[in-house]
Structure 1
Amino acid sequence: MDIEDARFLLTMAAVLIVGLLLAVAAGSQPFMRRADHGFGFRFVRRQ
């Protein structure tokens, strides 16, 4: 395994993890507005 292969796999894993976290945060927004503490709304404002 080359260093570039490992770097590529790590990058893909990081992208997938971030995507999953954003999907979960967006999906749970209507149900967890109080527990969320406005994180989802901050993210929406940035876009």
Structure 2
Amino acid sequence: MFESKTLEDTGKGWLLEGEFFVDIIALHEVEPKFLSDISNAKFYKIVIKKGK
């Protein structure tokens, strides 16, 4: 998504398709207390922020 410019870091937040600010949530398969690298997730969820 970053290579195709679908998702862009604006400094104010993540901008999806130049239109919506979103949150990116990492979904891990192990319990948080067992995580050694929080950035290494198998899946990510993108949630549109309310407002603009």
Report the TM-score, using the length of structure 1 for normalisation: 0.20
The answer to which structure, 1 or 2, has the higher relative contact order (CA under 8 A, 6+ apart) is: 2
Q: Structure 2 length as normaliser, TM-score?
A: 0.19
Larger proportion of helix:
1
Larger Rg: 1 or 2? Answer: 1
